[in-house]
Amino acid sequence: MDLRGHDAGAEDKIEKEADDMAIRGLIPQKVWDQKPLGSKATVLKVYTLAEKLKIHPAIITGRIRYEQNNYKLLSRHVGRGMVRGHFAEDCLKSVVT
């Protein structure tokens, strides 16, 4: 979510909460520990896992990029500005207020 122009401390807190939610809530740790993408994530593996978990591939791609601290990986499959559309408007309001 784009929080530019807001308090940097609040932005850091919200980013950390979002990261934790994605890490713990959207991709079960039990699944992730089984290394479903193998040693190298491919587009096919990402989309197959996303379909199995019934989540958007950008969530899996985001976790890969976050864990590897390489935000250039699979860039074409993240969808700039598209993640926001997967959350209810009420949820977004409570995050920024």
CA–CA separation, 25 and 6 (whole Å) = 26
Per-residue model confidence (pLDDT) at position 16: 82
Note down pLDDT in tens along the chain; length 97 residues.
444 455 556 677 888 887 777 677 889 889 999 999 988 889 999 999 999 999 989 889 988 988 888 888 888 777 666 556 666 666 555 554 4
> Any idea what DSSP says for residue 28?
-
Phi-psi region of 80 (alpha: psi -120 to 50; beta: other; left: phi over 0): beta
- Do residues 79 and 57 touch, judged by C-beta distance below 8 A? no
- The pTM assigned to this predicted structure is 0.62
The ranges assigned to domains in the chain are 8-96
